[in-house]
Structure 1
Amino acid sequence: MEVKTALITGASSGIGEATARKLRAMGFTVYAAARRLERMQGLSDDGIAVMAMDVTDDASMRVGIERIVTETGRIDVLVNNAGYGSYGALEDVEIDEGRRQFEVNVFGAIRLAQLVLPHMRARGAGTIVNISSMGGKIYTPLGGWYHGTKFALEALSDCLRLEVAPFGIDVVVIEPGGIATEWGPIAGDLVEQASGHGPYGRQAAAVAKLLRGETTGGRNSPPGVVADAVGRAVRASRPKTRYAVGFGAKPLILARRFLGDRLFDALITRATGMPRR
């Protein structure tokens, strides 16, 4: 049997690292990409190829794809996992930071899809997995830029799925809920930096506490639940278009689907501990 090749971005920790290990265990040749090579030494020691890649740098992405195709002759799976959460009141967050959030979370993912698609089309098969979030279906206060990127990634993924289906290529969206990674604490720091000392200070304190997991009682799911969903998607002959996994994902997505705006506003206000007028 042919050995398939997978590229995972944002693989230096958390979901990306767990996914790299999962696909390696499934028999894939795995390339793990992140900005900092030194943080992927453990993956390298376990037989996973690592590469420096910045998803905001076109040359970096081109070089990475060329290396994979040169060394393996193929690329079967792309897992777009690189991303971060830029939190803060929309009034407070600098527009340049908003642009950077879109560059990392949206444009980097779609640019990599553009680069791998010619190789997938040539083989008549492939899977692009975009790691979105339950935040691509719901909204929370002080998360406007982050949610905006995830809503955009969901829409782009849907359009891409239709466009590439005739070539035998699948596009899958993974929608994690609360996952125990460094993402939350970093986002908590960012919301305090942006809005912790102004009119949105009380809101920032509540959101930072939630992002750091201090209000969930340690119930956030391990990164492996996302890696397992990716594994199911790339193994399936006809994968689901979406996989909602991890703490809170399914109930909150369902609540958003069936509750009106005002009822969902009230639910999220209460769940996030927002001050009320």
Structure 2
Amino acid sequence: MTTKTALVTGASSGIGEATARKLQNLGFTVYGAARRTDRLKSLAADGVRPVAMDVTDDASMQSGIDQIIAETGRIDVLVNNAGYGSYGALEDVGIDEGRRQFEVNVFGAMRLAQLALPHMRAQRSGTIVNITSMGGKIYTPLGGWYHGTKFALEALSDCLRLEVKPLGIDVVVIEPGGIATEWGGIAADHVERTSGTGAYAPQAKAVAMSLRSEANGNRNSPPSVIANAIGKAVTASKPKTRYAVGFGAKPLITARGLLSDRKFDALISRAVGMPRN
């Protein structure tokens, strides 16, 4: 039997690292991508193939796909995991930073899909897994650019799924809830740098405190729950279109569908400890 090949971006830590290990355990030849391959040493020591890739650099992405095809002749799974949270009041976040948030979280993922699809079409098979977030269905204050990217990736995934299904290719969305990674602490630092002073300082303090509380608490789910969901999706004959997994994902997404905008606003404001007028 031909060994299937998978590419996982953002593989240097957290969800990406756990996913690379999971897919390797399932028998895939796995390429773990990151901007700095020195951060992939532990994965490489365990047999995951490191590949240098910057999802904001087209030549880097093209080179990575070319390397995979040259070495294995195929690509069966693309896991678009690379991303970060650019938090801050919309008034405060510079437009260049907003563009970068979309470059990393959206355009990089879609460009890799474009590069992988010709090979998947030739095989008449393949799975593209886009890691969005419960933040692609709900919203929080001072997270506008981040949520914008995740909402966009949800919509793009839906359109892509319809386009490639007749070609034998699946598109799956993974919507993580609270996951025990470094993401929350980084987002908290970002919101303080961006909006820690000025008109939005009280909100920034509350949001940063909430992000750090979640990051330092023990309620968040381990990255393995996301890796397991991805493993299940890419080995299923008919994967679900969406997997909402991890702390808070299903209840919050359900609440968004049930509550009015104003009631959901109040729920989220209370949850993050927003100051009142």
Partner of 2:101: 101
| Contact 2:229–2:243 under 8 Å retained in 1 | yes
| Contact 1:210–1:216 under 8 Å retained in 2 | no
1:75-134 alpha-carbon deviations (Å, 9 max, x no partner) = 000000000000000010000000000000000000000000000000000000000000
1:117-160 alpha-carbon deviations (Å, 9 max, x no partner) = 00000000000000000000000000000000000000000000
1:156-181 alpha-carbon deviations (Å, 9 max, x no partner) = 00000000000000000000000010
Tell me how far apart the structure 2 counterparts of residues 66 and 44 of structure 1 sit (CA, whole Å): 19
After TM superposition, give the deviation of residue 70 of structure 1 in Å: 0.5
Relative to the length of structure 1, the TM-score reads 0.99
Partner of 2:227: 227
Amino acid at match of 2:275: P
| Contact 1:213–1:220 under 8 Å retained in 2 | no
Amino acid at match of 1:261: D
Tell me how far apart the structure 1 counterparts of residues 3 and 213 of structure 2 sit (CA, whole Å): 39
Amino acid at match of 2:228: D
After TM superposition, give the deviation of residue 215 of structure 1 in Å: 8.3
Sequence identity of aligned pairs in percent? 77
| Contact 2:113–2:128 under 8 Å retained in 1 | yes
After TM superposition, give the deviation of residue 198 of structure 1 in Å: 1.1
Amino acid at match of 1:135: G
Tell me how far apart the structure 2 counterparts of residues 96 and 213 of structure 1 sit (CA, whole Å): 29
Amino acid at match of 2:96: D
Partner of 2:195: 195
- 1:211 equivalenced with 2:195 (yes/no): no
Tell me how far apart the structure 1 counterparts of residues 7 and 119 of structure 2 sit (CA, whole Å): 13
| Contact 2:178–2:214 under 8 Å retained in 1 | no
Structure 2 gap ranges (5+): none
1:177-219 alpha-carbon deviations (Å, 9 max, x no partner) = 0001011100000000000011111111111111123588420
Tell me how far apart the structure 2 counterparts of residues 154 and 117 of structure 1 sit (CA, whole Å): 18
CA root-mean-square deviation: 0.9
- 1:121 equivalenced with 2:121 (yes/no): yes
- 1:167 equivalenced with 2:167 (yes/no): yes
Partner of 1:178: 178
Tell me how far apart the structure 2 counterparts of residues 228 and 212 of structure 1 sit (CA, whole Å): 25
1:34-66 alpha-carbon deviations (Å, 9 max, x no partner) = 001111100000011001100000000000000
1:223-258 alpha-carbon deviations (Å, 9 max, x no partner) = 000000000000100000000000100000000011
| Contact 1:19–1:226 under 8 Å retained in 2 | yes
User: May I ask how many residue pairs the two structures share in their alignment?
Assistant: 277
List 4+ stretches of structure 1 deviating above 4 A.
none
Cα distance change of structure 1 residues 268 and 215 upon mapping to structure 2, 3 Å threshold = farther
Structure 1 gap ranges (5+): none
| Contact 1:78–1:127 under 8 Å retained in 2 | yes
Give the 3-state SS of the residue equivalent to 2:75 in structure 1.
coil
